[in-house]
Chains A and B, each alone.
Chain A
Amino acid sequence: MDVDIVEEEQTQSQRFSVNVAGKRPSKLPVDEAHPFDLEAYISSYSGRTYVDRLLHIMFLCPTLAPQALQLAVAEALKGRDTNQYKAIFMAYERAHAEASDEVPELSAIATPDQRWIEETNAKNLAERTKLEVELKTYSSNMIKESIRMAHRDLGDFFRAVGEHNSALKHYTKSREFCTTSQHVLDMCMSVIELLMEQRNYSHIATYVFKAESALDSASAVRGQTGPEAPAGSAQANKEKRNAEREKVQTKLDVATALSHLGQSNYEKAAQTFLKAGPVKGLEDWSGKLIAPGDIAIYATLCALATFTRPAIRTHILDNDNFSMYIEQEPYIRELLESYMNNRFKSVLEILERYSTRHYVDIHLYHHVVNLTNLIRSKALVLYFQPFSSIKLERMGQAFGWSVDELEQQVVSLIQSGEIKARVDRQNKILKAKETDQRAALFAKAIKSGQDMQAANRKLLLRMRLQQADLVVKPPKGQQQQQAFNYSSGNPSELLSGQY
């Protein structure tokens, strides 16, 4: 199924192949039907995530590999992580091995700069020793603040070098020496950033929680220093506090939402993304970890997959804050408009067009198929809602599918209970189910009555058995491990004869 995407002529035919199988494509096409501008895309990022995303792209789109390589090398040289640098070249080699006709030889493009590698390694080692010595000194001096800072510095260092586990270890160790909640907050933020880089979604939630409680106590403390300031600026102080709090809150919201997305809780992810504040709240995160355009995309896709139409209208379209994000990626607006106007075919078209863009994103990669399926199912259910019977052909046209494909989709939806209808295969009609409510009610009532009486009878018997103490007990002297209490003789042997 996935190879079909490359070969198909999208622009001419009205039909799509429906990739419902759930397999992720191994290679993504980049052509007119799937526009993707590497430069523009990657320019919104910087730092570690820049290189990570480029690695991901090299893996998925071999055609872009040479370009990606150049950019990645340039960025990696700015940092200090030699492992990442080497990884770039390995990824390129692999891409070349898998599609050697499209991807030119590595040596033709660039060669790893061994000298830089050795230099950086040496520098790193020196820095590391220095920091560790500092830590030891401070530990022996027992000055809490300096120990905390030393741990923090070591954590930052390891993060820059790319050793995530040690970084995490040092950050958590610095927690013990934190004195104010501001410190705790800083520590939590660093850890959250680290986890987001590592895409370790499950732990983000715990640290966000810690950060929020630290944030609360931090703003409470700041409030207490308020009375010292002149009375007139008390109001200004409060506003300043709120503004600061908001900044951090935005980051925390984004982090939480990302963790929900990572764990496939699309509904919660959509809600949290939409709650996030204005773009400038992201500050230094914007680009280093996540781009505003990404937020727009994630939020919209999750919302389309899980929200009802009125909810989408109120939360996204009428949400001024969020429209700032949407500005970053205009096709999202188009997507939303089509959805609200029931132009499902264009919705699916747009999704298909930008599928490359979606797959390339490291956070979204695993979820694109699920989200697309959800959106598709929802569209089908919405489409069928006003009808009592509709020709499958007409429905297929509205979605751009053949009757057979549509039938498959519809049958799976019926079996999962989303659509209450039946398929008339001979005449290719989808007919809504009409239930005789009165008869159904009677049937249900009578059945409930019988069930209840049976259940009561059994419960009464059980009660009597317990009153008479006829409870199965383990034989005396038998160990607790033995779970079974064998009655006299294997019951199957008692009853001979098959039936």
Chain B
Amino acid sequence: MNAAGSSHGAGGLASLDDVLNQITSSSNPGSLHNYLRSFAPREVRDTILASTLSSGQDPLAVLDPQRNTLGFLYILSAKLHSASVQTPPLHVIEAFCSQFDPEQARLAPERVTLLAKGIVRASESSNNAKYALAPLYSLLTRYAPHLSYLTTLHAIFLRTCVATGHFTFALPILSVPITSVDTSISDLHYNDNLIYHYSGGVALGALKRWREAEEFLEICVSAPAQVPAAIQLEAYKKLALVQLIQYGETNPPPKYAHPALSRLFKNSPYGFFVKTYPAQTSTLRSFATKEQETFTQDRNMGLINQAIDRAPVWLIKKLTATYLTLGLGDIGKEVGIESEEEVRAIILSMIDAGEINASISADNTVTFGDVVPKFSKEDLDRVVVQAQEHNRVLQEVERAINASKEYLTKAMKHKDDGGWGLEEDMFPPSMGGGTPWAED
């Protein structure tokens, strides 16, 4: 190990000592970054970085994570990826992740990605899953200017969370929706977006937070695509099942989702399941056993079972729309459940959950009423405030685009072509959006 470091001393290639000197002496992160990128050809660079100093010391022990973030980052990522070098101890990694300087790190986004991947690999090889989670979490939360910026770390972190089954760990991350994409901060690939939202949806589904899971899966499904990705189809399947659990029926995907997905979905056993839902439990179950292999292979069996369990609830809800009173026996017949006790239990739980407004009388007849939603002034105020905030954000985006270079060049080009028509288009959207929310 020693030799590897010093053998490249002469002949134009820097040694690790030189690198270290540069790192500690440089005051300008930008120039340091350039140096680190270029001090050696790519193949040998990481090897050099991964080696030890000529004195036998580990360079990481010399450097300070906060002040020398950039250098630390390079060396650490190199070490984690090198096959020959022993992985740095956990506390070193954790120290770095909780203390690094985000601004410096952002100069080298691809190294950050490399670092994250390295951490995951190291944890997998040492068979200690939790190993990766804590450092990744710190890395993720501190790296981007705000959590709403999508980074490669999101995808890696979520994937690890789901793979290890620690779903709640990801909750703080998931609660901040992604709204910004800045490729200068992170070297993003479309898969990062897909994987993040897919894993997010899966995690939320596992935690039974259906509404949020639905949103994440829908974002994955409707991500812009010239050609649909396999993961989008998987997301669609899960999305449909989550919607069944939540609403009793599926909503069509947004118009901008790729049409091939809907087509493929309809022809799959999932499409058939969605069509027959809700139906009597026995029908659904027999169908599920028939297609068990497909469902288990896609790891959707759990969702399917939950959907089947919810089926009686939706059937009963449909009944409340048509009947005013109904006997327990009749309900059981409609829903396909034999025992009246079971029906009674289901109805009681539905009443408790506020899904229906009913009362069971002594002779086992259920009287349904209408569910009247009540609104307090606070609720309304809150909603209005939210809407106003949202509106403000939209206007900012509008203004930003109006001032952007691309738009202005395009507008100038077409100024002589369309003339009036174009200008009229520019004004109404900003004016019309302002008023409706505030009036209420």
> Interface residues, chain A, CB within 8 Å of chain B?
411, 414-415, 422-427, 429, 431, 433, 435-436, 439, 442-443, 445-446, 449-450, 453-462, 464-468, 470-474, 483-488, 490-492, 494-499
Q: Is B225 an interface residue (CB 8 A)?
A: yes
The distance from the CB of B219 to the nearest CB of chain A, in whole angstroms, is 6
Q: How far is the CA of A457 from the CA of B389 in the complex (A)?
A: 13
Q: How far is the CA of A455 from the CA of B182 in the complex (A)?
A: 21
Q: How far is the CA of A283 from the CA of B319 in the complex (A)?
A: 57
B residues less than 8 Å from A472 (CB atoms): 190, 194, 223-229, 232
Given A426-B327, A457-B177, CB of A487 within 8 Å of CB of B322: no
The distance from the CB of B344 to the nearest CB of chain A, in whole angstroms, is 17
Nearest 5 Cβ contacts at the A-B interface: A472-B225, A424-B324, A499-B206, A464-B181, A470-B190
Residue of B nearest to A424 (CB): B324
Q: How far is the CA of A490 from the CA of B298 in the complex (A)?
A: 10
Residue of B nearest to A478 (CB): B227
A–B complex contacts, Cβ < 8 Å, 11 sampled: A414-B322, A446-B375, A459-B256, A460-B397, A470-B181, A473-B227, A484-B229, A484-B230, A485-B229, A490-B230, A495-B159
Q: Is B23 an interface residue (CB 8 A)?
A: no
Contact of B299 among A439, A461, A474, A498 (CB under 8 A): A498
Q: How far is the CA of A431 from the CA of B324 in the complex (A)?
A: 8
Residue of A nearest to B299 (CB): A492
Residue of A nearest to B440 (CB): A445
A residues less than 8 Å from B199 (CB atoms): 495
Q: Is B374 an interface residue (CB 8 A)?
A: yes
B229-A486 in contact (CB<8A): yes
The distance from the CB of A301 to the nearest CB of chain B, in whole angstroms, is 29
The distance from the CB of A432 to the nearest CB of chain B, in whole angstroms, is 11
B260-A495 in contact (CB<8A): no
Contact of A473 among B226, B234, B386 (CB under 8 A): B226
Contact of A411 among B229, B254, B322 (CB under 8 A): B322
Contact of B302 among A411, A431, A462, A498 (CB under 8 A): A498
Q: How far is the CA of A497 from the CA of B218 in the complex (A)?
A: 22
Q: Is B330 an interface residue (CB 8 A)?
A: yes
B323-A422 in contact (CB<8A): yes
Contact of A471 among B190, B254, B365, B375 (CB under 8 A): B190
Q: How far is the CA of A267 from the CA of B318 in the complex (A)?
A: 31
Given A487-B195, A499-B302, CB of A453 within 8 Å of CB of B390: yes
Residue of A nearest to B256 (CB): A462
Given A488-B191, A492-B297, CB of A465 within 8 Å of CB of B223: yes
Given A465-B193, A467-B181, CB of A458 within 8 Å of CB of B218: yes
Residues of B in contact with A, size category: 35 or more
Contact with A along B356-374 (1 / 0, CB 8 A): 0000000001001010111
In chain B between 326 and 352, which residues have their CB closer than 8 angstroms to a CB of chain A?
Answer: 326-327, 330
Q: How far is the CA of A457 from the CA of B397 in the complex (A)?
A: 12
Q: How far is the CA of A218 from the CA of B14 in the complex (A)?
A: 96
Q: Is B162 an interface residue (CB 8 A)?
A: yes
Given A411-B322, A423-B322, CB of A485 within 8 Å of CB of B227: yes
Q: How far is the CA of A357 from the CA of B198 in the complex (A)?
A: 63
B residues less than 8 Å from A462 (CB atoms): 222-224, 256
Q: How many A-B residue pairs have CB under 8 A?
A: 171
The distance from the CB of A55 to the nearest CB of chain B, in whole angstroms, is 41
B188-A468 in contact (CB<8A): yes
B215-A454 in contact (CB<8A): yes
A residues less than 8 Å from B2 (CB atoms): none
Q: A422-B323, A431-B324, A472-B225 are in contact. List 12 more A-B contacts (CB 8 A).
A: A424-B325, A425-B330, A433-B370, A442-B375, A446-B383, A458-B219, A471-B190, A472-B229, A484-B229, A487-B230, A494-B162, A499-B202
The distance from the CB of B175 to the nearest CB of chain A, in whole angstroms, is 14
B residues less than 8 Å from A461 (CB atoms): 177-179, 181, 219
B residues less than 8 Å from A486 (CB atoms): 229-230
A residues less than 8 Å from B426 (CB atoms): none
B residues less than 8 Å from A449 (CB atoms): 383, 386-387
B188-A496 in contact (CB<8A): no
Q: How far is the CA of A62 from the CA of B418 in the complex (A)?
A: 75
B226-A439 in contact (CB<8A): no
A422-B322 in contact (CB<8A): yes
Given A487-B195, A492-B298, CB of A465 within 8 Å of CB of B224: yes
B374-A458 in contact (CB<8A): no
Q: Is B180 an interface residue (CB 8 A)?
A: yes
Residue of B nearest to A430 (CB): B324
Q: How far is the CA of A456 from the CA of B387 in the complex (A)?
A: 11
Q: Is B394 an interface residue (CB 8 A)?
A: yes
A468-B322 in contact (CB<8A): no
B373-A497 in contact (CB<8A): no
Given A439-B372, A462-B223, A470-B181, CB of A422 within 8 Å of CB of B321: yes
Given A425-B330, A467-B181, CB of A495 within 8 Å of CB of B397: no
Which residue, A443, A462, A491, has most C-beta atoms of chain B within 10 A?
A491
The distance from the CB of B265 to the nearest CB of chain A, in whole angstroms, is 13
Q: Is B135 an interface residue (CB 8 A)?
A: no
Which residue, A422, A433, A445, A454, has most C-beta atoms of chain B within 10 A?
A422
Q: Is B165 an interface residue (CB 8 A)?
A: yes
The distance from the CB of B408 to the nearest CB of chain A, in whole angstroms, is 16
Residue of B nearest to A474 (CB): B227
Residue of B nearest to A473 (CB): B226
A residues less than 8 Å from B206 (CB atoms): 499
Q: How far is the CA of A457 from the CA of B188 in the complex (A)?
A: 20
The distance from the CB of B243 to the nearest CB of chain A, in whole angstroms, is 14
Residue of B nearest to A471 (CB): B224
A485-B230 in contact (CB<8A): yes
Q: How far is the CA of A491 from the CA of B205 in the complex (A)?
A: 16
Q: Is B163 an interface residue (CB 8 A)?
A: yes
A487-B390 in contact (CB<8A): no
Q: How far is the CA of A460 from the CA of B179 in the complex (A)?
A: 7
A471-B180 in contact (CB<8A): no
B229-A487 in contact (CB<8A): yes
B215-A435 in contact (CB<8A): no
Residue of A nearest to B374 (CB): A439
A residues less than 8 Å from B165 (CB atoms): 496-497
Contact of A491 among B177, B234, B256, B373 (CB under 8 A): B234
Contact of B190 among A414, A436, A473 (CB under 8 A): A473
B301-A456 in contact (CB<8A): no
Q: How far is the CA of A421 from the CA of B207 in the complex (A)?
A: 39
Q: Is B183 an interface residue (CB 8 A)?
A: yes
B323-A423 in contact (CB<8A): yes
Q: Is B91 an interface residue (CB 8 A)?
A: no
The distance from the CB of B138 to the nearest CB of chain A, in whole angstroms, is 23
A residues less than 8 Å from B190 (CB atoms): 465, 470-473
Q: How far is the CA of A454 from the CA of B199 in the complex (A)?
A: 20
B230-A491 in contact (CB<8A): yes
Q: Is B189 an interface residue (CB 8 A)?
A: yes
Q: How far is the CA of A497 from the CA of B162 in the complex (A)?
A: 9
Q: Is B92 an interface residue (CB 8 A)?
A: no
Q: Is B231 an interface residue (CB 8 A)?
A: yes
A456-B324 in contact (CB<8A): no
The distance from the CB of A417 to the nearest CB of chain B, in whole angstroms, is 10
Q: How far is the CA of A457 from the CA of B390 in the complex (A)?
A: 9
Q: How far is the CA of A22 from the CA of B165 in the complex (A)?
A: 54
B residues less than 8 Å from A494 (CB atoms): 159, 162-163
Q: How far is the CA of A492 from the CA of B233 in the complex (A)?
A: 11
Given A465-B224, A483-B228, CB of A457 within 8 Å of CB of B194: no
Given A426-B365, A445-B440, A499-B302, CB of A456 within 8 Å of CB of B394: yes
Contact of A464 among B179, B205, B226, B228 (CB under 8 A): B179
Which residue, A445, A472, A494, has most C-beta atoms of chain B within 10 A?
A472
A residues less than 8 Å from B189 (CB atoms): 470
